[in-house]
Amino acid sequence: MFGFLKKKLSKAVDSISDKFKDKEQIREEVEKEISEVEKERPEKLIEKIEQRIPEAKEVIGEIKQAPEKKGFFKKIKEKIVKEITEKKFSEKELNPILHELENSLIESDVAYQVARKITDDLKKNLQEREIKKGKEKEVVLDSLRKSILEIFSSKKINLEEIIKKAKNENRPAVILFLGFNGSGKTTSIAKMGRWLMDKGYSVMFAAADSWRAAAIEQLEEHGRRLKVNVVKHKYGGDPAAIVFDGVASAKAKGINVLLADSAGRIHVNKNLIEELKKIVRVNKPDLKILVMESLTGNDCPIQLKHFDEAVGVDAVILTKMDVNEKGGAALSIAFMGKPILFVGTGQNYDDIKEFDKDWFVNQLLS
């Protein structure tokens, strides 16, 4: 899981921490060189340092051109140790590494704004910071972890609180599932139904995708396997009416949660968009969940924006996370302020996991 992105992040961490180690090694070598020739002529010291550390030539040249010659040897010693072997990172040193990291993040389906946020945070946390020897990688990883966790700032949705509230109002909690065809929407309904039943809640399905061929049969098959009743009409029926009937049936039978399917929408199909708006207007679902296939990468934020503008999206389910080598879509979605409720991790009904930001970051940085 996330192999490609993990590799890119690990490379950046190693590059930065190794550079810190190199600076420490150079410092030790220069200080040793200085101590060995300190009693000799400054010219000999300068010659040895210039041979050992090519970067020192520019600094020595600046000192030679200075009008004040008093304490020449002392200036050489202080300048070389401070400017050439300084353990702190300068902006000039960090920029090439962070630029490469930013490109790697974008290659991993991380939106540009998110990649820039992560690299800017690293720059802010590491530039001009002195790091103790042996702590280089730990400091870089901690900085990266903090930056990524900040992206997941949206409030976590508590499904059980939503169900409890609806129950106190003597009605089922209504959860509407949105998403393009092929995103794993119907399967996610079945998985979430199983998850809720394992928690002790009763569930009913509403087959409100009356547009796609075999959509009703697919949800019915899941219902048969899970022993969940499915409310349906004929193909071409009014989706808002199907959900309405589902709510009434669930209420009459004392069902805790109604999970409603809907037709996959494309932005050019105005009729389907209007149907979706009608479902929401008539039934006022407690939660509108957008299901997206994580493998679609940079299309995920576009889909989220599309559905959010149409009817409002409360939360997201990302499917096929178990075979996603990039993982950047989750970061981009979280950056847009939408909580990720679940992730799909396989083909079986139990292969659904509540999203946890600490788990996600550990997967990336472990």
User: Which range among 91-95, 150-154, 177-181 shows the weakest confidence by mean pLDDT?
Assistant: 91-95
Domain boundary among 84, 101, 124: 84
Question: What's the whole-number average pLDDT of the chain?
Answer: 82
Q: Is 70 exceeded by the pLDDT of residue 106? A: yes
Q: Which pLDDT does position 187 carry in this prediction?
A: 94
Within-domain flag for 14: yes
307 or 38: which carries more pLDDT confidence?
A: 307
Q: Which pLDDT does position 163 carry in this prediction?
A: 97
**Co-location of 12 and 30 in the same domain:** no
**Co-location of 107 and 243 in the same domain:** no
Residue 134, classified by CB atoms within 10 Å of its CB into exposed (0-12), middle (13-18) or buried (19+), is exposed
Q: Which domain holds residue 101?
A: 3-20+90-151
The Cα-based distances of 319 to 241, 329, 349, 358 in angstroms read: 28, 11, 13, 19
Contact 57, 83 (CB under 8 A): no
**Co-location of 251 and 113 in the same domain:** no
Three-state secondary structure string covering the chain: CCHHHHHHHHHHHHHHHHHHHHHHHHHHHHHHHHHHHCCCCHHHHHHHHHHHCCCHHHHHHHHHHCCCCCCHHHHHHHHHHHHHCCCCECHHHHHHHHHHHHHHHHHCCCCHHHHHHHHHHHHHHHECCCCCCCCHHHHHHHHHHHHHHHHCCCCCCCHHHHHHHHHHCCCCEEEEEECCCCCCHHHHHHHHHHHHHHCCCCEEEECCCCCCCCHHHHHHHHHHHHCCCEECCCCCCCHHHHHHHHHHHHHHCCCCEEEECCCCCCCCCHHHHHHHHHHHHHHCCCEEEEEEEHHHCCHHHHHHHHHHHHCCCCEEEEECHHHCCCCHHHHHHHHCCCCEEEEECCCCCCCEEECCHHHHHHHHHC
Q: What percent of the chain has pLDDT over 90?
A: 43
**Co-location of 328 and 193 in the same domain:** yes
Q: Is 70 exceeded by the pLDDT of residue 164? A: yes
**Co-location of 141 and 182 in the same domain:** no
Within-domain flag for 234: yes
The count of domains in the chain is 3
Domain boundary among 151, 168, 203: 151
The pLDDT-based confidence of 291 (bands split at 50, 70, 90) is: very high
**Co-location of 177 and 255 in the same domain:** yes
Domain boundary among 84, 104, 138: 84
**CATH code for the domain of 221:** 3.40.50.300
Interval 297-325 mean pLDDT: 89
Q: Is 80 exceeded by the pLDDT of residue 6? A: no
Q: Which pLDDT does position 253 carry in this prediction?
A: 97
pTM: 0.79
**Co-location of 183 and 146 in the same domain:** no
Within-domain flag for 9: yes
**Co-location of 52 and 8 in the same domain:** no
**Co-location of 269 and 215 in the same domain:** yes
Interval 203-231 mean pLDDT: 94
**Co-location of 184 and 201 in the same domain:** yes
Q: How far apart are CA 25 and CA 1, in angstroms?
A: 36
Within-domain flag for 363: no
**CATH code for the domain of 137:** 1.20.120.140
Tokens of residue 335, six digits: 């950056």
Q: Which pLDDT does position 73 carry in this prediction?
A: 45
Within-domain flag for 361: no
R_g (Cα) of the chain, nearest Å: 30
Q: How far apart are CA 75 and CA 81, in angstroms?
A: 10
Q: Is 80 exceeded by the pLDDT of residue 52? A: no
User: Which range among 4-13, 109-118, 182-191 shows the weakest confidence by mean pLDDT?
Assistant: 4-13
Q: Which pLDDT does position 65 carry in this prediction?
A: 57
Q: How far apart are CA 325 and CA 4, in angstroms?
A: 5
Within-domain flag for 362: no
**Co-location of 205 and 72 in the same domain:** no
Within-domain flag for 364: no
Interval 327-343 mean pLDDT: 91
Q: Is 70 exceeded by the pLDDT of residue 23? A: no
Q: Which pLDDT does position 85 carry in this prediction?
A: 46
Q: Which pLDDT does position 41 carry in this prediction?
A: 56
**Co-location of 253 and 313 in the same domain:** yes
The pLDDT-based confidence of 350 (bands split at 50, 70, 90) is: very high
Interval 95-107 mean pLDDT: 86
The pLDDT-based confidence of 51 (bands split at 50, 70, 90) is: low
Within-domain flag for 38: yes
